[in-house]
Amino acid sequence: MLDSQMKIGLDAVEETLTTVIDSDVETLFDASRHIISSGGKRVRPRVILLAYLAAGGEMITDAVDAAAAVELVHTATLVHDDINDHSALRRGQASVHKQWGRTFALLTGDYMFAKVYEMMSPYGVECNKIMSSAAVTLVEGETLQAAAAKKGEMDRETYKQVIERKTASLFSAGARMGAVIAGADDELKEALTTYGHYLGVTFQIVDDILDLIGDPEEMGKPAGLDMAQNRGVGMTVNGSNGHTAVLEAPAVAADPIEAMMAKLRSSGAVDIARAEADRMAQRAYDALENVPPSPARDELSRLVDMVLDRKK
């Protein structure tokens, strides 16, 4: 029953993502289609659909546009990130920036964000306050990260702020909107919001670990990319600082980034980050204690397992 509902929901999200991008402006259509059809884990839509069901929602199609919108916000930020990071690859294929150039990548991100706003508008005031507030917070997180990268320093407190704002904000907003659309009471909304928050934090820590030790082929992007750009977990361990360390790497090293990664792997940074991910995951599990038992709640719990165990 849950499986079939989720299949209906996720298929509809996919359908919505491909049909909502209907611009008669060729570049916007092509570039948006390109990034959307390149896959992605669709973990955010899964969160909102499951939260909706766990909160007692019975018409999963009611949450589909919001679920697609959450994925589209995320996709828009990827398109803009790739401009700032000069990334040529995204999800194993050319980034929009690489294929269409900076101007059109910037406009494609803007377009997708405007479409999100358009998709969300029928949901009314409460959902739109949640989503817009998450969008503001997300941009703040990206900016904190860029500012820290520019200075070449990111301490643990900044790292925490960055991942809470740039990643957890959208996960918690999605979970909360699922609850709102299902008509949940305040207590249940809070429980699912908290769940989403800690799932998001866990997700980002694991993401940053994978940047260090993941298989580049499976990841669809070069390893060490985030670290090379002064982001992520490598910078936050024991005051070590990726940028400085890269600069300090012996000039004879063939590949200073690889040298830095090896150093971080052996420094225990990954183990420390992994322990932090486990702690954050536990808080997500704990939040589910305040959600009535149901197959959807069990699946939200398994989603935490999946996020912890993912390899790409």
Contact 245, 260 (CB under 8 A): yes
Is residue 38 part of the contact set for its own copies (CB under 8 A)? no
Q: Nearest distance from residue 168's CB to its own copies, in Å? A: 16
Paired residues of 88 in beta bridges: none
Which two tokens mark 78? 């990827």
| 132 contacts its own copies (rule: CB under 8 A) | yes
Identified binder of its own copies from the candidate list 7, 11, 15, 25, rule CB under 8 A: 25
Query: Which of 11, 15, 39, 143 is the binder for its own copies (CB under 8 A)?
Result: 143
Under the criterion CB under 8 A, does residue 133 sit at the interface with its own copies? yes
In the numeric block, the tokens 């909102």 are attached to 48
Task: Determine the interface stretch with its own copies among 130-138, 191-199, 207-215, 263-271 (rule: CB under 8 A).
Answer: 130-138
Question: For the residues of 10-37, what is the DSSP string, one character each?
Answer: HHHHHHHHHHH---SSHHHHHHHHHHHT
Q: How far is the CB of 26 from its own copies (least distance, A)?
A: 8
User: Which of 139, 249, 257, 259 is the binder for its own copies (CB under 8 A)?
Assistant: 139
CB of 58 to its own copies, least distance (A): 23
Report if residue 135 touches its own copies, rule: CB under 8 A: yes
Q: Among candidates 207, 280, 271, which has minimal Cα distance to 238? A: 271
Q: Please name the residues in contact with 197: beta carbons below 8 A apart, sequence gap of 6 or more.
A: 164, 168, 171, 172
Rg for the chain, CA atoms, rounded: 19
Counting contacts by CB under 8 A, is residue 125 touching its own copies?
Answer: yes
Q: Please, which residue, 142 or 299, has the CB nearer to its own copies? A: 142
Handedness of CA 11, 17, 22, 28 (dihedral sign): negative
First to last CA, the chain: 29
Q: From CA 110, how far away is CA 73, in angstroms rounded?
A: 10
155 binds its own copies (CB under 8 A): no
**Interface pattern 88-107 for its own copies (x via CB under 8 A):** --------------xxx-xx
Q: Which is nearer to its own copies, 106 or 249 (CB)?
A: 106
Contact partners, residue 192, CB within 8 Å, separation at least 6: 51, 54, 55, 175, 176, 178, 179, 184, 287, 291
Contact with its own copies (CB under 8 A) among 138, 154, 180, 191: 138
Question: Stretches 1-9, 111-119, 284-292, 296-304: which one binds its own copies (CB under 8 A)?
Answer: 111-119
Residues that bind its own copies (CB under 8 A): 23-28, 80, 83-84, 102-104, 106-107, 109-111, 113-115, 117-118, 120-122, 124-125, 128-129, 131-133, 135-136, 138-140, 142-144, 146-147, 150
